[in-house]
Structure 1
Amino acid sequence: MDLRGLVASLRENAHAANERRLLALTGDREAGIDAAYTAIAAAGVDDEAVSLVTTQQGFRYHRLHPDHADELLGTTREIVVLDCHEGFSANALGQVTGAVDGGGLLVLVLPPLGAIPNQLIALVDQVAVPPFSRDDVGNHFRRRLVTTLRHHPGVAIVRLPPSTAATNDDTPDEITIKRDGLINRSQSTPPSDPRKYTDTPFPDAAYEACRTVDQARGVAGLSALSSPGNAVVVEADRGRGKSSAAGLAAAALAADGRDVLVTAPSFDNAAELFERATELLATLDHLAADGSADSDTDKIEPPMATTAGGRIRFASPPDAADLPSEPDVVIVDEAAALPVRLLERLLDAPAVGFCTTVHGYEGSGRGFAVRFRDRLAASSYDVTDIELREPIRYGQGDPIEAWLAWTLLLDAEPPADQLVADATPETVSYRTLTADDLVDDESLFRSVVGLLVAAHYKTEPDDIVRLLDAPNLKLRALLADGHPVSVALLAREGGLSSEQQAEIYRGQRVQGNMLPDVLTSQLRDPTAAGPVGYRVMRIATHHAARSRGLGSELLSWCHDEFGDAVDWFGVGFGATPRLLSFWRVNGYRPVHLSVTRNQTSGEHSALMLRPCSTAGIDLAGRHSRWFRERIAGQLADTLSGVAPDVIRGVLRAVSVPADDTQQGTLDLDDRGWRVLAGVAYGPGTYEAAPHVFQQLAMAHLISPIAELSPRAERLLVRKVLQCAPWATVADELGFASERQCKRAFGTIVRQFCEAVDDEAGGDIIAEERATYED
């Protein structure tokens, strides 16, 4: 059989079962590209149904660079060719595979299979971070790729002869078919036909636009959002059409005059939703000619107006959490990728729908379930749960979906709850997990990845490559009866040469050194990349064993193991009060708070350090000092919108060393003490000397002076440090009036005056108080 005959057989076999097949063309690159053209021609598809993902240019077909493979998400192709010789990544592999339709072919242009463990250099460069070289990078992932290609059903492998250009021979040898990839099915699994739902408020056209019965069932469930007080959760694996179902539901709601607000990690994540909504509104002839946004929705795009007065609009998660213009319905796509804090704020909407991926790298349904479902269940909503199982583009049991999930561990799950439910710091064991350990124990590997995915929405296929092959990473775990209950992924950073340090200082990026990069380039410390440290890149504890100290126990083991070998430990994360408290308790203190917030989480990133050596103490000490010196000014400017509880947590975590003369002291001159006493006991005002109260607030929040309630400390943050107007502070903190808020401020100052001793201005305060009492 020649290549044309093989392609024809694969297409026929795939069409019969409404499945996909994978064709691996192995050999030199030019021969592979030539063979890919032959395969496309043999498939007899239109040019528009083909995409080539390659670093090369000059093709007549739609072409994307591998770095832009995500543009295929949500699209459909009959053939996708991925040139793996250059620019290959695990992320790109996942992104292009999802675009292939039932009956279609995924074509991989690869080196000879036996050579792959020593090639695919893009994977090497991805994890060869300084000071490590290419020679330090492993090849476990490349070996895994070869194994899954050789053994998984539905994969055809063709060994190619050298290209004519390489051999100067017009008659190259015949191809060798190592596997034909054909599967014998007892019966085909064609797509199911949608059905109508006459007992819902949605029009028939909404269901006629569905591609499967499962999707129609999802749209019917989402119709509950027509009535206030309802919440709907749609869960599905990738490719089940949940975003399309949400788009059809949004269109039906808007066609009935509802104002629908859509949010997702980015607008790209919601593109499919808007596309299907547009199609349905056009079918219903409800799409208004003028779809411009109202003047009060300048942050919301793109608005889609309907003839019934409804609309569909998009907002980033932080903006959507404010429920701008009071929407009738909120729909969240890829909800598992959003922080619980933002999701909870959306529960003030009249009706809300959540669409979430169960297995995938946009976020995990498991994480969503663990972190948010209890909050939703405790709300006042009537909750409808929908699970979509039927793939949209291909039949159930598609072998290429299973191959991708196996290769990239997309279906990895944490250990079952009952296996770790009794774990405590006293019953677990600390273990080093090497790449060999993961390769030799697939169950362990899947449990570790499942924990990471459930805890961190940013986990992606490229992380599998890092886990297996990155020379700068260390993986440590606590095991309960052999099952991982808590895992930590540590990334070695720093230890760079003087030349590399100079490059960072001049603004050049040095891969894989996040903390040294920020400390050097942004905070202008030319020697910060010299000391060596471990950044805690990920730490995850099983949801069934949280709040027992397991995360702190794991960190303590890591500190003991590596503390003598490095200068510092560090971490960077989206700052929340809970996380700031966790890292403070474990000996980390802040050195930076980003002045911009993440557009997905709405959080400002905090960087914290824990010194281990003299060099680490020097590094952490000066950056902690610089942080204290600059943050007061930032709070009235670039950080004026940060939540007061985050600021409280950041400043409390500063933990100034006992021998530091700036340890939360209140060093005022005589006039300063008189100003305080005047506000506490007399006619003085805050406005007469704001800098005095700024000193007071900073000193107290770093090292408490008086016993203040959380509300009182929030008042200090919002008024004194962030300089918000009295009316704003009163409204945010629930005071009945500005007057009441100011009286509360006076009470706070009085508590400070009563807390200071004689050496801290007590005599002056006593004299001033006596003056007013007299």
Structure 2
Amino acid sequence: MDIARSLRAEARRANERRLLVLAGDPETTRERAAAALDAVDIPSAETTVVGPEPFLDCEHHEQSRAEELLGRTQTAVVLDAHEELRPDAVGRTVGAVDGGGLYVLLAPPLETWPEKRDGFDASLAVPPFGVEDVSGHFRRRFVETLRAHRGIAIVDADSGTVEQDGLTDPPPSRPVPSPIPPAGAQFRPETYVQCLTDDQRDAVRAFESLQQDDEAVVVEADRGRGKSSAAGLAAGNLAAAGRDVLVTAPQYRSAGEVFTRATHLLETFDVEFVRDRASNPQRLDVAGAGCVRYAPPDEAALLPDGPDVVIVDEAAALPVRRLEQFLDAPAVAFTTTVHGYEGAGRGFSVRFRDHLSESDRAVTDVSMTTPIRYGDADPVEVWAFRALLLDARPPADQLIADSTPETVEYRRLSAADLLADEHLLREVFGLLVLAHYRTEPSDLARLLDAPNLTVRALTHDGHVVAVALLAQEGGLSADTRATMYEGGRVRGNMLPDVLSTQLRDEAAGIPVGQRVLRIATHAAVRSRGLGSELLSNIKAEFADHVDWLGVGYGATPELVRFWADNGYQTVHLATSRNATSGEYSVVMVDPCSDDGAALAARHGAWFQDRIAAVLSDPLDDCGPDVVRAVLRATARAPSLSLSKWEWRLVAGVPGGASVLDTNPKPFRELACRHLSDPIDPTALAPREERLLVKKVLQAQPWPTVADELGFVSERECMRTLGGIVERLTRLYGDPWVQEELDRHQ
């Protein structure tokens, strides 16, 4: 195939990549793809097919397993999109093509592709919607980008017509000079010989600081810039110098390059080392020195066996709570992708960098911009960034600096509105990226195509300052509700699902609601009431059309207070930590109708009935300030129905006549009553309320409570609790109970 030969020759001459689109009948496009790869003489070992059929004699993966290409490069990758187009698969596969290589996309005829509904579309059709309700906006935009960008050839496979040749006539690539080893470098000279760019050299040099304690390094880069390789070169040096290096990442495959580069580097050193790739590829030991070892994030956060250095690869994909735990290591480095499916680097900087700057560590920042796998003018990277909005950003700070609730406009943004204004789409998506720990290309498709999603925003002079993504939930048929209640998988409908399956309320799927999936305010104008202004407008718009507004998120004290201040009330606190946020998730609702109020009332009552029991068992490590905020956000005060004997037991504690452990139940009821709806909110100081949570509700041991709350001794902690019980007894007890209290003073 002549066009394939021309593309391949040009790609090799420029050290860039080219994209070949073969559109038409599935079998015809596969035959032409085989002919094209034969014509350019790319070995099967350097080729991967991603799609439903292994039609070439080479490596093959389904689109759902496209992550198998992470951290690897191939000369050719064929993405067969006839049965479905998963945006995440595009993001994962396009970056695996090396400079001089071809990315081949097989697709239905481009003119009709946006109207075709495929397997990915079916995943967007959450009940009560069907696949026929899914729009084709994402693919329509995707096709437009294919036609508009340089370096992309489009061939009608059925007729053999070349619609565009994709040739750009670039200048030949120039040899990249090897970086000069920096003067005064502390790592071995062989290290810098292996650096491929000046950026990589500078990153490795920054890692030298990790030889001392209380140091932190942050490396931010786009995909393919060699940040993981730089971390591997550093890890090899540190291990050779006797340090124990713990590496973590969302999955081991993300950190595999760290071990590969460390291994290659140590092979050039005059040292003995062991890495058993067959039985334990996740550990590398240097004889008589240190090691490089991997642990998953939840395990690594405990700093097992006391590592000297921790390297967190793809840090943006981890929740802030988890990242904070790594600050307890003697020295730590964070590498993260700025733009890409691995996680939003900008989100990492917004969420975590404040915590890092407030620590006692000296922080070294490095930014890597020069590609290693291909030339820095690569047109396929430019296309992928635009097609998947990997580089979407909020508006520049100065454009919205004067925003206030009085200056903004509330806008109902349809998919058509976003498609018609690329700048608006980029600002909306850029802000939504900041509202979540991990944003993927599929989120862009959901934004544009999912029939249950809507977007609302506040704009200032036409620029987006706050945005919310809403999902319609509920209104489910009896059959769907029964399926959900019996444990069947029903896509979407998170809030009805939780209330039905976990809390056994089959009727929870009847009322219709709008759940706030994500909400974000521009970092430059936070704390001005813009988030609340957006929620106020959303309620004004939807209150007459739905039964409830709801939200579920990883609970922090600040977030719970924000939602409570905006009228949302607690109905559930999960008993296991959310894998994404690392926090316990809370579900809150704001009723809009009688049916919504009934739903909130019964679940609020059930929550109060069970919360004391779960706090002493599965939630015994939930942060006390989270517990305080969640309880304060309930809509009703729990009942306080202590028997006379229980009141006598409570009244005896301040004077030492009785002890809490005799029967914790009445003390827990009293604590929940006060923390949920206090008669006098000033009766207890925050630390005293934390003591109530940790000792009375969570039943933690006295030494732990005293230490974590900063008491000088257990005895002081006990005396303080006695004083708290006395004040609460006088607030909530009948006159005879107070007389009982006075008997023991």
Shorter-chain TM band: over 0.9
2:449 counterpart of 1:469: yes
Alignment of 1:149-298 (within 5 A): 149-161=146-158, 175-197=160-182, 199-284=184-269, 286=271, 288-289=273-274
- The unaligned stretches of length 5 or more in structure 1 are 162-172, 293-299, 657-662
TM superposition shift of 1:544: 0.3
CA–CA distance in structure 2, aligned partners of residues 312 and 649 of structure 1? 41
Alignment of 1:430-469 (within 5 A): 430-469=410-449
Partner of residue 335 from structure 2, selected from 329, 335, 355: 355
Who is 1:772 aligned against?
Answer: 744
CA–CA distance in structure 2, aligned partners of residues 594 and 538 of structure 1? 19
Report % sequence identity: 53
Who is 1:742 aligned against?
Answer: 718
Who is 1:516 aligned against?
Answer: 496
2:651 counterpart of 1:671: no
Alignment of 1:80-159 (within 5 A): 80-119=77-116, 121-159=118-156
Who is 2:670 aligned against?
Answer: 696
- Pairwise CA RMSD: 2.1
2:724 counterpart of 1:762: no
For the residue of structure 1 that corresponds to 2:506, the secondary structure is coil
TM superposition shift of 1:244: 1.6
* Paired letter, 2:192: Y
For structure 1, which segment, 519-528 or 567-576, has the greater mean C-alpha deviation from structure 2 after superposition?
519-528
Who is 1:428 aligned against?
Answer: 408
Partner of residue 551 from structure 1, selected from 521, 531, 534: 531
Who is 2:661 aligned against?
Answer: 687
For the residue of structure 2 that corresponds to 1:528, the secondary structure is helix
- Report the count of equivalent residues: 741
CA–CA distance in structure 1, aligned partners of residues 176 and 609 of structure 2? 64
TM superposition shift of 1:602: 2.2
Alignment of 1:624-663 (within 5 A): 624-656=604-636, 663=637
TM superposition shift of 1:461: 0.7
CA–CA distance in structure 1, aligned partners of residues 284 and 569 of structure 2? 47
Partner of residue 311 from structure 2, selected from 309, 321, 331: 331
2:459 counterpart of 1:479: yes
TM superposition shift of 1:600: 4.8
> What per-residue deviation string (whole Å, max 9, x for no partner) do you get for residues 14-63 of structure 1?
01110000000011000011111111211212211110001124642100
Partner of residue 27 from structure 2, selected from 18, 27, 30: 30
Partner of residue 47 from structure 2, selected from 50, 57, 76: 50
TM superposition shift of 1:301: 10
> What per-residue deviation string (whole Å, max 9, x for no partner) do you get for residues 363-421 of structure 1?
22222222333343343332222111111110101000000011111111100001111
TM superposition shift of 1:629: 1.7
- Cα pair distance change 1:629/1:271, threshold 3 Å: farther
Partner of residue 709 from structure 1, selected from 643, 667, 685: 685
Who is 2:700 aligned against?
Answer: 724
- Cα pair distance change 1:93/1:713, threshold 3 Å: same
* Paired letter, 1:765: Q
TM superposition shift of 1:765: 2.4
> What per-residue deviation string (whole Å, max 9, x for no partner) do you get for residues 136-163 of structure 1?
22222111111111121000111112xx
> What per-residue deviation string (whole Å, max 9, x for no partner) do you get for residues 400-454 of structure 1?
0000011111111100001111111111111111111111111111111111112
- The unaligned stretches of length 5 or more in structure 2 are none
2:346 counterpart of 1:366: yes
* Paired letter, 1:463: D
CA–CA distance in structure 2, aligned partners of residues 229 and 491 of structure 1? 44
TM superposition shift of 1:591: 2.0
Who is 1:8 aligned against?
Answer: 5
CA–CA distance in structure 1, aligned partners of residues 238 and 678 of structure 2? 53
* Paired letter, 1:223: E
For the residue of structure 2 that corresponds to 1:476, the secondary structure is strand
8 Å CA contact retained: 1:189, 1:395: no
8 Å CA contact retained: 1:567, 1:613: yes
CA–CA distance in structure 1, aligned partners of residues 618 and 673 of structure 2? 21
8 Å CA contact retained: 1:286, 1:308: no
CA–CA distance in structure 1, aligned partners of residues 628 and 182 of structure 2? 53
CA–CA distance in structure 2, aligned partners of residues 555 and 528 of structure 1? 23
Alignment of 1:396-407 (within 5 A): 396-407=376-387
> What per-residue deviation string (whole Å, max 9, x for no partner) do you get for residues 109-166 of structure 1?
01111111112523421322221222322222111111111121000111112xxxxx
For structure 1, which segment, 747-756 or 605-614, has the greater mean C-alpha deviation from structure 2 after superposition?
747-756
CA–CA distance in structure 1, aligned partners of residues 658 and 319 of structure 2? 43
Alignment of 1:517-532 (within 5 A): 517-532=497-512
For structure 1, which segment, 132-141 or 185-194, has the greater mean C-alpha deviation from structure 2 after superposition?
185-194
For the residue of structure 1 that corresponds to 2:459, the secondary structure is strand
CA–CA distance in structure 2, aligned partners of residues 155 and 14 of structure 1? 11
Partner of residue 560 from structure 1, selected from 527, 540, 543: 540
CA–CA distance in structure 2, aligned partners of residues 268 and 747 of structure 1? 54
TM superposition shift of 1:589: 1.6
CA–CA distance in structure 2, aligned partners of residues 635 and 269 of structure 1? 36
> What per-residue deviation string (whole Å, max 9, x for no partner) do you get for residues 719-742 of structure 1?
211111112212222222222221
* Paired letter, 2:47: V
